[in-house]
Amino acid sequence: GAVVSQHPSWVICKSGTSVKIECRSLDFQATTMFWYRQFPKQSLMLMATSNEGSKATYEQGVEKDKFLINHASLTLSTLTVTSAHPEDSSFYICSALSPGSDTQYFGPGTRLTVL
């Protein structure tokens, strides 16, 4: 099956710093990727839709200036959490939409802890 990777798998940072998370589709090209956030013992909440070559579309309540998304190539989308605060600590998961399919393939997730 299709493989999606994320890097880093975990990161600890100080409050006020920025953190970049990468999402890569390894064996297929993805024009559309999605970013989700998952708090402990909760479900996944969609943050934004990342489209290659265009601006991301953010869900209601998600600050686009705080969560910067760049989808510069057909295999890479990045999420940058700017000026991170402890309440941003969460599990961030990306997915990539398989071309010509309705199936999203998920990355392994990145656990962000902001001190």
Partner 1 sequence: SQQGEEDPQALSIQEGENATMNCSYKTSINNLQWYRQNSGRGLVHLILIRSNEREKHSGRLRVTLDTSKKSSSLLITASRAADTASYFCATDLTGGGNKLTFGTGTQLKVEL
Task: Give the containing element (helix H, strand E) for 79.
Answer: strand 76-81
Name 111's bridge partners: 10, 91
Nearest-angstrom CA–CA distance, 59 and 6: 21
Please, which residue, 16 or 99, has the CB nearer to partner 1? 99
- 56 near partner 1, rule: CB under 8 A: no
From candidates 13, 49, 52, 58, binder to partner 1 by CB under 8 A: 49
Binding marks (x or -) toward partner 1, 57..76, rule CB under 8 A?
A: --------------------
Residues near 48 by beta carbon (within 8 Å), at least 6 away in sequence:
34, 35, 56, 57, 58, 59, 62, 64, 67, 69
Distance separating alpha carbons of residues 38 and 45, to the nearest angstrom: 6
- Which of these ranges, 13-21, 44-52, 64-72, 82-90, lies near partner 1 under the rule CB under 8 A? 44-52
Binding range to partner 1, per CB under 8 A, among 14-22, 28-36, 72-80, 81-89: 28-36
Residues that bind partner 1 (CB under 8 A): 1, 6, 32, 34, 36, 43-46, 49, 91, 93, 95, 97, 102-109, 111
